[in-house]
Amino acid sequence: MADEHILIVEDEEKIASLLRDYLEKSGYRVSHLDRGDTVVSFVKRNEPDLMLLDIMLPGMDGMEVCRETRKFSSVPIIMITARVEEIDRLIGLELGADDYICKPFSPREVVARVKAVLRRARPAPEERTLSAGPIVLNEDTRGVTVHGQELSLTPSEFKLLKVLMSHPNRVFPRNDLVNMVQGYEFEGYDRTIDTHIKNLRKKIAALLPEREIISSVYGEGYKFIAE
């Protein structure tokens, strides 16, 4: 995702500018600090999306910076250490860092880790579902389950059920259902809706025989019955 803001905390100018180049080429916005004791106020003010944090720093060392940052922020942190043996110890300290990279590193590897950590940190998109008792309709997967069992629906049956379930107990005239399901007006098409409804009822009743889910309202249309 472009334009995410990465904070590099690194006192070695060469390493910092190398990282900056690679990250900027990958589409990230980059800030750089060369002291540990300026990090907390920077993070509070600017809320970066990820921090690359060196351990040996003037002012305040990286471990302390990590601990202090964790008191108020869940910003993903990748710690950079000069010694591979140090990584086990760092993990043992439970500083709350998300990943560790050892110097010398390849900038490509750093970019790959940054991407991976950012991906993990992104909140999962909320699934759009409609549910009524044991019936759950998932708009993203276009799946419907009854008591957890998958229902096999045609696209028209799925759309119909979705419309009806989105407003339980509301009566939908046949013509409205035709328009919503087919997307256009089609004279004399409302018998098809009856057929779809019949099939839909049959499929649901196979898994839920004890309840009427869709009822017809004489002369008016259909509704989904919420418990």
Residues at the interface with Ca ion (CB under 5 A): 11, 54, 56
Give the shortest CB-55-to-Ca ion separation in angstroms. 7
Q: Which residue lies nearer to Ca ion by CB, 42 or 189?
A: 42
Q: Which residue lies nearer to Ca ion by CB, 107 or 173?
A: 107
Q: Which residue lies nearer to Ca ion by CB, 56 or 130?
A: 56
Give the shortest CB-17-to-Ca ion separation in angstroms. 14
Q: Are 176 and 168 in contact (CB under 8 A)?
A: no
Q: Which residue lies nearer to Ca ion by CB, 54 or 98?
A: 54
How far is Cα 145 from Cα 207, in angstroms, rounded to an integer? Answer: 9
How far is Cα 184 from Cα 159, in angstroms, rounded to an integer? Answer: 14
Give the shortest CB-149-to-Ca ion separation in angstroms. 58
Q: Which residue lies nearer to Ca ion by CB, 53 or 214?
A: 53
Give the shortest CB-59-to-Ca ion separation in angstroms. 11
Give the shortest CB-12-to-Ca ion separation in angstroms. 5
Strand order across the beta sheet in which 214-217 lies = 172-173, 221-224, 214-217
The type of residue at 168 is: P
Q: Which residue lies nearer to Ca ion by CB, 77 or 146?
A: 77
How far is Cα 113 from Cα 19, in angstroms, rounded to an integer? Answer: 12
Residue closest to Ca ion when measured from CB atoms: 56
How far is Cα 225 from Cα 20, in angstroms, rounded to an integer? Answer: 59
Q: Are 213 and 151 in contact (CB under 8 A)?
A: no
Q: Are 95 and 67 in contact (CB under 8 A)?
A: yes
Give the shortest CB-85-to-Ca ion separation in angstroms. 17
Q: Are 26 and 52 in contact (CB under 8 A)?
A: no
DSSP secondary structure letters along 50-115: EEEEESS-SSS-HHHHHHHHHTT----EEEEES-THHHHHHHHHT---SEEEESS--HHHHHHHHH
